[in-house]
Amino acid sequence: MIRINLLPHREHKRQARRRRFLSMLVFGFLGAVGVAMLGFTVLTTRIDTQKQRNQFLANENKKLDLEIAEINKLKAEKQALLDRKKVVERLQSNRTESVRILDQLVRQTPEGVYLKEFKQTGDKMVLTGYAQSNARVSAYMRNLNDSPVFEQPLLNETKAATVGNLRLSEFSVQSQTERPAEKASAPAAVAGKASAVAASTAAGKK
């Protein structure tokens, strides 16, 4: 069967161009939609990845905060133990010093001297008591000055007193107490001065 195109030739071409244009328009639209969807997918993926990174960093920061808190707690416990150790050492030192002081008080108190009371404030000690005479008080002060614990005894007061039927001298003596560390450092200082004097003398002879 022979087909006869009754449409004009120009109209046929116009319709063909229109179909091509519509096809290109549809393909362009579909391509734009595809590119937009691809871009949206890539952007969403990046956002999700960044969220995961942020969450990871937040979790790590929480772990670090917990570790820092634990370290600070351990430091505080360590400092508390050190402070407690210092207190124990100081109490031990004070107890040892108290024993030395009591021992020297007994050793250095001569016959005819009776202690009534002693008070210690820091390295200062005040001794009060009775003596048969002022000479006994002087002897007591000399004994204190020669002891390894007391130094620089000073007579605060002496007055006549009656205890029972006895007439005695009531006295108050103030003295400094020396710690063992101070006693040990004194000979070292003297030795150092002696060495310096010897060195300067030898240099003068040269």
Say whether pLDDT at 198 is over 60: no
Instruction: Note if the pTM is more than 0.85.
Output: no
Say whether pLDDT at 195 is over 60: no
Domain annotation covers residue 148: yes
Q: What band does 128 get if pLDDT is binned at 50, 70 and 90?
A: very high
Domain annotation covers residue 102: yes
The per-residue pLDDT for range 32-48, each reduced to its tens digit, is 888 889 888 889 999 98
Helix (H), strand (E), coil (C) string for the chain: CCCCCCCCHHHHHHHHHHHHHHHHHHHHHHHHHHHHHHHHHHHHHHHHHHHHHHHHHHHHHHHHHHHHHHHHHHHHHHHHHHHHHHHHHHHHHHHHHHHHHHHHHHHHCCCCEEEEEEEEECCEEEEEEEECCHHHHHHHHHHHHHCCCEEEEEEEEEEEEEECCEEEEEEEEEEEECCHHHHHHHHHHHHHHHHHHHHHHHHHHC
pLDDT at 155: 92
Domain annotation covers residue 2: no
Q: By the 8 A CB rule, do 132 and 168 touch?
A: yes
Domain annotation covers residue 105: yes
Domain annotation covers residue 197: no
Q: Which residue in 139, 141, 170, 169 sits closest to 153, CA to CA?
A: 141
pLDDT at 156: 92
Domain annotation covers residue 81: yes
pLDDT at 34: 87
Q: Number of folded domains in the chain?
A: 1
Say whether pLDDT at 7 is over 80: no
Of residues 129 and 18, which shows the higher confidence score? Answer: 129
- List the domain range (segments joined by +) for residue 118: 56-181
CATH assignment of the domain containing 82: 3.30.1360.100
What is the share, in percent, of the chain residues with pLDDT greater than 90? Answer: 30
Q: What band does 61 get if pLDDT is binned at 50, 70 and 90?
A: very high
Q: What is the mean pLDDT of residues 46-56?
A: 91
For all residues of the chain together, what is the average pLDDT? 80
Lowest pLDDT segment from 21-35, 91-105, 159-173: 91-105
Domain annotation covers residue 36: no
Domain annotation covers residue 152: yes
